[in-house]
Structure formats: C-alpha cells, structure tokens
C-alpha cells in the first residue's frame, strides 16, 4: 500500500468485520516533534492474545477470501522503516487498537493520500457503523462524527448521494482549514 489512507481502509474494514458499532480514526501531524501518528480504535469483538500475535505474520489471515494478511505487517514495517513504532492491542470483547507512529519528515514516510475518498467509501459500505475521524495538525483539530451527522439527518441514510456530496466537501474544507497533509484528488 502506497498511502496511509489505504491502510486505514484495510484496518477499519477489519473493525467492521469484527462487529464494531463504533470506529475511531485519528491522524496527528506534529511538525515540532517530527511525529506523524495514525491510530484506529474499535469496540468490536477483539482478538485473543494468540490471534493478536499471529496478526503481524503476513502468512496469517482470518479472512476466508485470501490466504495472506499483509495489511498490519506492511503498516508495521512502514512505520518502523521511518524510525517510528507500531502497536497492536486487543482483547476479546474489548475491541482493538492499532497505532502507527512515523517520523514525519522521513523520506520513506508514506503520504496520507486520499483520505476523503477512504472515508466516503467507508460511509457508503457501512451505513450502520458509526465513525469518528479526528485529524490534528500542530494543535489544530478537525473532527467528523457520524453519530452527530445521523442525528441531524433525521432518518435520511448517511450513504444518500446528496449527503455524501456534502460530507466530501465538508471533509476537504475541514482538512484544508487546519493545513492537513492530504490529497484533494477524488476516487
């Protein structure tokens, strides 16, 4: 995967498959400390310690459609390649937390990429799941919480085309306002 947004998509899809009704995605850019942090937390079914340890093995997957699970091992390697770190915490019934920390200015740090398209894809495919996306850049914060949006929609599905157009524009404007590292290109 060449963009961090694709790692986010992969991990969040795992969260949804694990039955998580709520997924929190945080991206933090801190130029003063040269840190770029990506964290995904869910309240899904979680993993046993045995499965958690195997999850970083590229030849292990719980998915039935393919025999390899490259997502987490590739993300861990990408973070460590920049002098950063990777953390995977999980326990049955408690959910999962994935945290990748990168050296922000490192030449090998992958760009965030098309996060707007990633979020819209998640909303389209998982309208019953709630998402909170928080992006922090040098203390400036943009937050999108689908629980709040769904209340305002009053029964209109979050994956309705007009709602998605509004969300797409809102995400791009919010990220631009805080000066976030993202691509304005759409899918």
* CATH assignment of the domain containing 65: 3.30.565.10
* Max intra-chain CA distance, the chain: 46
Q: How far apart are CA 53 and CA 88, in angstroms?
A: 9
Pick left, alpha or beta for residue 19 (phi over 0 → left; psi -120 to 50 → alpha; otherwise beta). Answer: left
pLDDT (0 to 100) of residue 2: 83
Residue 33 domain-assigned (yes or no): yes
Residue 166 domain-assigned (yes or no): yes
pTM: 0.91
Residue 184 domain-assigned (yes or no): no
Q: How far apart are CA 7 and CA 166, in angstroms?
A: 25
Residue 41 domain-assigned (yes or no): yes
Residue 44 domain-assigned (yes or no): yes
Count: domains in the chain = 1
- Residue 66's contacts (CB-CB under 8 Å, 6 or more residues apart) are none
What are the tokens at 16?
A: 């949804």
> For the chain, which ranges sit under pLDDT 50?
65-69, 187
Q: Are strands 130-137 and 95-103 parallel, antiparallel or unpaired?
A: unpaired
Q: How far is CA 117 from CA 83, 124, 133, 143, 183, in A?
A: 28, 10, 13, 16, 10
Residue-range definition of the domain harbouring residue 28:
4-178
Residue 82 domain-assigned (yes or no): yes
CA 92 to chain centre: 21
Residue 183 domain-assigned (yes or no): no
């Amino acid at each position: 995967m060449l963009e961090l947004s694709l790692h986010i998509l992969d991990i969040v899809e795992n969260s949804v498959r694990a039955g998580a009704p709520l997924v929190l995605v945080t991206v933090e850019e801190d130029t003063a400390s040269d840190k770029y942090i990506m964290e995904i937390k869910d309240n899904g079914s979680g993993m046993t310690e045995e499965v958690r340890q195997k999850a970083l093995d590229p030849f292990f997957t719980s998915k039935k459609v393919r025999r390899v699970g490259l997502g987490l091992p590739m993300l861990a390697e990408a973070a460590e390649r920049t002098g950063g770190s990777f953390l995977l915490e999980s326990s049955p019934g408690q959910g999962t937390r994935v945290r990748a920390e990168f050296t922000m200015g490192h030449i090998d740090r992958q760009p965030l990429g098309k996060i707007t398209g990633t979020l819209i894809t998640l909303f389209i495919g998982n309208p019953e799941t709630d998402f909170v996306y928080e992006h922090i850049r040098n203390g400036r914060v943009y937050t999108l919480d689908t629980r709040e949006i769904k209340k305002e929609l009053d029964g209109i599905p979050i994956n309705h085309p007009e709602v998605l157009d509004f969300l797409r524009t809102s995400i791009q404007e919010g990220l631009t306002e805080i000066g976030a590292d993202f691509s304005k290109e759409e899918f």
